[in-house]
Every structure is written in C-alpha cells, then in structure tokens.
Structure 1
Amino acid sequence: MKKYQKIMALGFTVLSMTVSYGCKNEPKKKKQILLAERVEPPKKANKRTVKIALLLDTSNSMDGLINQAKSQLWDIVNEFTRAKCGNETRPELEIALYQYGNDALSYREGYIQQVLNFSSDLDQISEKLFSLTTNGGEEYCGEVIQTSLKQLKWGNDPDNLRMIFIAGNEPFTQGRLNYKDAVTNAKENDVIVNTIFCGNYEQGIETEWKRGAQLTGGEYMAIDHNREIVHLNTPYDDIIINLNSKLNKTYISYGAMASEYEENQASQDENAMSVGYGVAIKRAVSKSSRLYNNKSWDLVDASADANFELKELDRKSLPEELKGKSNQEIEKYIDSKRIERERIQAEIAEINEKREIYIAQNQKENTQGELEGALLGAIKKQAALKNYTWD
C-alpha cells in the first residue's frame, strides 16, 4: 500500500484554549454551524472548554511516533494545567481520538475508526492511546478530517475552542474526498486544523500537509518521530512515585463499574512506567492537578460537584467500608480522604517544583520531545490570539 508509513498519536493529551471573545467575555453574534448539535449540561459562568481531536495514522512503521505520544502525553497535560483565560478562569480539556490508515480497519469506512469520543477522563485517554496497534493501509487525510467533523459532537458554543491535530507521512491528497473540501468545512464550523508531517519539512510541503493547515489558519509542523528522550534522574523521583501510591489510596470507588475504573487507574500507572520512569513521574504530577477528575467513580471528586446529592446514591453501589453507615458518617469519611488527597497533591506539586529546578540546572540539552514541542508550539501560538496566558 505504501513504501513506508509511520504515524502518530498524541494524546493527548493536549491543550489549548478558547476563542478570543470567550476569554474577553465580549458578546459576539452566534454563527450557525452545521456540525452535530450537543446538548451540554449547564456550566459555571465563564467556564470554557477546549476540544481537541487527534487523528493518528496507525499504518506500518509508526511505532516510534506512538511511543513519543505515550511518553509525552503527560507533559502536554501538565503544561495545559497552567493555561489561563484572560478573565482568570481555567479552561477544561476534552480530547477525542481517531486512527486511520490501518488495514485492520474497515475498507467501507475508509480505514478510519473513532477510538474515543470527546472525553476529559485522562485515564481513559491513556488507555485508548496504549491500545493502538499498527498495520499497513491507505491514509485518507481528507476523509478522516471529514469523518471527525460529522461524528463528533463539537457543539456550537462560540466561546469554546475546537481544534484538530492530524499526523502522518503520506501525501495529504490521498483518498476519494478532496482534503480541501474537508478543511473548508472545518473552517466554516470554527474548527482549526493543524497538521504534523512525520518526516522532512520540505517533503511535507510538497505533499500538501502545509496547505491543509493554512486553509483553516492552523499550523504546519514536521517532526522526527524516531527521536528518543532520555530521562534525567533526580533526587526527587522516588519521592513522587511513593506519593503517587499514597494518592491512589485516597480514592473511594462507587457505582456499578467501580472496580473496573479503579483497576484502570492502576493499569495506566503501569503503562506509564512501562514507557519509562520519567513518564510515570509526569503522570503522577498530572494526577495532582485539577484536570485529573474522576467524579464518575470516585466519591471525593463526585462530592465536590455542585449537583452531587449523597442521599440519592444507590447504597448498594458504595464500597464495603461505607455500607450500613449514616449520611453523616459517610460525609465524614469522604472529607477525611479529601483532606488527605489535597495534602498529598500539594506535596507532589512542591516536590515537582524542586525536581524541575534540578533538571533545569543539570540538563545539558533541551529534552522536549518532537511531538510535544510541535503540539505546544501550535497551541500557544493560537492561544495568544485568544487572550490566553500561562502561569
């Protein structure tokens, strides 16, 4: 199907902001959009959401880039926790994931598959990223962009920022659907398309990856997907890993799938460690941030939600240590775990500051990953136009 194929993924995780008028809180006319409408729950005043769809080529020879995505997901999340809108609010982050260009996928669907709908569940995003496997195939960039526009519930809130990041190494022109039609549709619906070519910068231009981004005001980037990042050991690494173990013990799982969610949390810790000790540390730092929220299965996070009602909980869904307890006893238990968690999270943040200072003083060269650098560079450039800053 092609001589060489490598691809990418990113997880995430990434990051961005909202539209400029969203940050400035200036009224703006709503523009009609053709994307699927989303009935979103009411949010707190001025709360903004960044929606990012990652379209990753999973054809042959993309293992290096996939590994970069796995190792740099938490760097991107950690950087995004510092994002701030002009009105001092912190934006929420939702990520969707598609794979394309894989022979194992359906020909009728254009070798395209939605791996994850928009989600703010960082464990789920990590799980889906680690589930990706490679195979030969045809990469239809225009078609996967169009599919994501049709299938995802982007919503029509003018204050939310909507972005696509597509990565691959074959010509952007492949497939039955002209990519220009897809990116034009994206632009009409306020979705920015950013392209990442895995290979030579000039080759990406020749195969129209740059043009694909320019048509929506997005960024074109070319990266060395095989570059490996070396972790610098610090005196603080083991401390953070140990704190992460203590942090996990502050979760109070509930609901029909409580055990599955709890097991997945541990599994994603293991996945991060399998990539490298440094990645596990960065995941632990992410878990101490506001973006790591598990209110769907954890009573501590759930009870912090304005709509939470303890009396409405199915008592059968509670963990054994809380069954038969009064509401007052349950609330006291939840509060004790919350206090413990906040203490551990604060300690992780404090130790990580010392770790970052140590790295800055002892690192001989820039260790930012190719994928990470490309994503954050594009996000921050576009964010600056939307009145976003970083702490």
Structure 2
Amino acid sequence: MKNTRQILGLLCMSFAITSMYGCELKPKKTTAEPVLAQVFSPINDEKPKNNTVKIALLLDTSNSMDGLINQAKSQLWDIVNKFTYAKCGNEERPELQIALYQYGNDNLSSREGYIQQVLNFSGDLDDISEKLFSLTTNGGEEFCGEVIHTSLKQLNWGDNPDNLKMIFIAGNEPFTQGKLNYKDAVTNAKEKDIVVNTIFCGNYEQGINSDWKNGATLTGGEYIAIDHNRKVVHIDTPYDDVIIQLNSKLNQTYVSYGALGSAKMEQQRTQDSNAYELEEVVAVKRAVSKSSRLYNNKKWDLVDASDDATFDIAMIEKDELPKELKGKTKAEMESYIQEKKSDRSKIQNEIQALNAKREQFIAEKQKDGEKGELENAMLEAIKKQATKKDYKWEE
C-alpha cells in the first residue's frame, strides 16, 4: 500500500502537539485516591488529572507501511521527551494518555471494517511501546471515516473542557473510502471537542484532492503531507553509551510488588531490548524518557508508589512483597525503599544532564533539514498552538 517512513514520526510528534491546546487556568481540588486501591483493584483506574492530554493514534497497517510503524516505535520517545517540558498556565504539568488503533489490514475482521483497538487510553509508556512493537502489516481496505468513528465510540474521551483531546490519523489512500462519510465522523468529533489531525504520505496537492486536508480543517486540526522516502539522520554522540549504561542501573532501582510486579519488570526489560534492537539511538531516547516524570510505575513499583501521600508499606500483604523485603520490619522496608529512591533520583539526574549535552552536540552537528520535514512541521504546530492555549515549553 504505501511506504511511509516519516508518517509515524509525525504521529508521534503529535504527542507533543497535544500540549499545545488547553490548560485549566485554575487548579481544582481533588481527592487523591490510595495507591493500594489501584493496585489490588485494577479495574478502578485512578481519576485523571484536570489537565490531561488524550491522543488517539490511528495508524494504517496495510502493505508497505513498515516504515511508518518503525517510525512510530522510535519517534514515541522523541515526543515523550519533548512533552516533558510542557507546562500549563497554572504551572501544572499535564498528564499524557495515548490510545492506539490500526486499520486497513487484511488480518483484521472485515465485519469490523478492518479496524482494531490495539490500546485503550493509557499513560503507561511500556504498554504503549509493547503495542507498537506488536504491529505488523498486511494488505487491506483503509476506511478513514470508519476508524475515526470507531475511536469516538469506543474510547472514553470524557467531557472535561480542560482536557485536550486529539486524533492523529495517518495513511495515503483517499480519505473518502468506506461507507461511512468522513464528514459525519469529523463533525461528531468536533461536537465532542476533539480535534482531528491528518497526516498524508505523499504529495501535498494529492492529499488535498483526496480530502485529507478537509478532514482536518473541519475540526480546526492540522493537515500535514510528508515525503515518506526522506530518511531522518540520527547522530551518534559521545554520551550515548554512558546513558545506556545508566539505564541498566536505573532498572535496578525498581522494587516490584503485587500481582503486576514480576510481569511489569519483565516488560520493562523487553521494551528496553526492543528499542536497542531497533537502533541504539532509540534505546538512548527511551532511557531519557525513563528519567522523566512521565515514566511512572506506582501500580507495581514501591519506589514510585511511595510518593503517594496515602502510601503505607504496612498495608501491603506479605505475599505481595518482593523477596528482598519479606521478613523485614516496617522501618527496614521504608529504609530500603528510600535508598532505592535516592539511587534512582541520582541516576535520573545524571541521564538528564548527559542528555542536555547530547542535544547540544546534535544541534551543533546537525545540518539543515536533517530532522525531516515532518518533525519541523510538527514542532512549528506545537509552538503555535501552545501559545494560543496557554501552554509553555520550558527546555
């Protein structure tokens, strides 16, 4: 179907774009929910913060879209790292939730319009990475209107006017395909205060003629056309190997607990490996993301969980504790967790400091245009929208 190398970069850049829209100007008082309730009752997800950015990525996984998927896997970390610096007008840091759909793949059910929800809204970066790496391509029919409508129907977008809600859909077949008129789908999105952004892989005018631009314009979204054959140049730096080594040390600061603990630690290691096998620079970017506020695992890690004001290690059942804490007194367990927390903070600060030098090195070596037109277009959109919606970017 289409060879789209940068489409995905685009998509992921969309994450960042999210920060550009709405910020709640006056913080509202909320009652913090106990961490343990989230752990032992996973069905009851914690209440999202008022400043939450919700992004649904709708990716075409028909034939020849492997480049798109690979870009998504690598660009995810670029977007997360950019998003780390977003701040609302009330000085709060917005939360980020991402949902993932694939469409246009013959392996999917024809009764469902060759559409599948791969991931519901989630802020778990390891889950998002795992789902992206699970995608494979196969020929199929691409129904843009149908996949937009499906995401509106299945996802819990909420009705909080302070939340920024966005759809990013990527592909290169006519936007008009399928029985469901895309105009009805995007009109429904606009009524729900959801902005639809379209990414066309191909000639700009061709995207306009096949209604990709109109699909975005009807909701006030952005239309972007990219040269999918243009390869982004990654620059190796003297700091990459050290950051990867620090990432291994960072993993050693996690103290798993509960039913999720063991599996989530294994998932963490697997996603590190996936990133490294894709490209070493992707592993570096993932390590930087793991040193940020957006990588939080309080549902299975005692160090992150201990940051909650309601957390009490004594409330955890003995059989839910990791082996290194079994048989210890409450004071000994708290001391152990505090030691790991101190180690983690030090390692994360080292990674952030090295990444600052890394980014400066890249900026000095990078030639004009090497970022790729997709990335440049997305960053411009982010800055523009951030100003309009009272977001700031403090890098």
The TM-score, its normalising length taken from structure 1, stands at: 0.91
1:33 aligns with none
The CA distance in 2 between the partners of 1:23 and 1:51, in whole Å, is 14
The CA distance in 1 between the partners of 2:384 and 2:311, in whole Å, is 38
Deviation at 1:104, TM superposition (A): 0.5
SS of the residue corresponding to residue 15 of structure 2 reads coil
2:2 aligns with 5
Does the 8 Å CA contact 2:60/2:102 hold for their aligned counterparts? Answer: yes
Does the 8 Å CA contact 1:169/1:199 hold for their aligned counterparts? Answer: yes
CA 206–120 in structure 1, closer or farther in 2 if over 3 Å, else same: same
2:133 to 130, 152, 170: 130
1:143 aligns with 146
Matched, 1:260 2:263: yes
1:220 aligns with 223
2:279 to 276, 280, 283: 276
Deviation at 1:43, TM superposition (A): 5.8
The CA distance in 2 between the partners of 1:79 and 1:132, in whole Å, is 24
- Once structures 1 and 2 are overlaid, which stretch shifts more, 236-245 or 213-222? 236-245
Alignment of structure 1 residues 167-178 onto 2, 5 Å: 167-178=170-181
SS of the residue corresponding to residue 242 of structure 1 reads helix
Deviation by residue 1:176-208 (Cα, 9 ceiling, x = unmatched): 100000000000000000000011111000000
2:336 aligns with 333
- Which amino acid is the alignment partner of residue 26 of structure 2? N
Alignment of structure 1 residues 146-295 onto 2, 5 Å: 146-295=149-298
The CA distance in 2 between the partners of 1:297 and 1:377, in whole Å, is 37
- Which amino acid is the alignment partner of residue 208 of structure 1? D
Matched, 1:362 2:365: yes
Q: Unmatched 5+ residue regions in structure 2?
A: 29-43
CA 54–12 in structure 1, closer or farther in 2 if over 3 Å, else same: farther
The CA distance in 2 between the partners of 1:389 and 1:63, in whole Å, is 34
1:14 aligns with 15
1:315 aligns with 318
Alignment of structure 1 residues 296-307 onto 2, 5 Å: 296-307=299-310
Could you tell me the percent identity over the aligned residues?
Answer: 67
The CA distance in 2 between the partners of 1:357 and 1:19, in whole Å, is 28
The CA distance in 2 between the partners of 1:314 and 1:118, in whole Å, is 30
2:105 aligns with 102
2:77 aligns with 74
The CA distance in 1 between the partners of 2:272 and 2:295, in whole Å, is 13
Deviation by residue 1:195-228 (Cα, 9 ceiling, x = unmatched): 0001111100000000000000000001123332
The CA distance in 2 between the partners of 1:12 and 1:262, in whole Å, is 27
SS of the residue corresponding to residue 24 of structure 1 reads coil
SS of the residue corresponding to residue 358 of structure 1 reads helix
Deviation at 1:314, TM superposition (A): 2.0
The CA distance in 2 between the partners of 1:326 and 1:377, in whole Å, is 54
The CA distance in 2 between the partners of 1:271 and 1:79, in whole Å, is 21
The TM-score, its normalising length taken from structure 2, stands at: 0.90
The CA distance in 2 between the partners of 1:138 and 1:89, in whole Å, is 43
2:39 aligns with none
1:25 aligns with 26
CA 346–53 in structure 1, closer or farther in 2 if over 3 Å, else same: same
1:119 aligns with 122
CA 215–40 in structure 1, closer or farther in 2 if over 3 Å, else same: farther
Does the 8 Å CA contact 1:110/1:140 hold for their aligned counterparts? Answer: yes
SS of the residue corresponding to residue 321 of structure 1 reads coil
The CA distance in 2 between the partners of 1:380 and 1:340, in whole Å, is 35
1:63 aligns with 66
The CA distance in 1 between the partners of 2:105 and 2:373, in whole Å, is 23
Q: Unmatched 5+ residue regions in structure 1?
A: 28-38
The CA distance in 2 between the partners of 1:195 and 1:53, in whole Å, is 12
SS of the residue corresponding to residue 322 of structure 1 reads coil
The CA distance in 2 between the partners of 1:130 and 1:43, in whole Å, is 26
SS of the residue corresponding to residue 177 of structure 1 reads coil
Deviation at 1:384, TM superposition (A): 2.3
**How many correspondences in the alignment?**
375
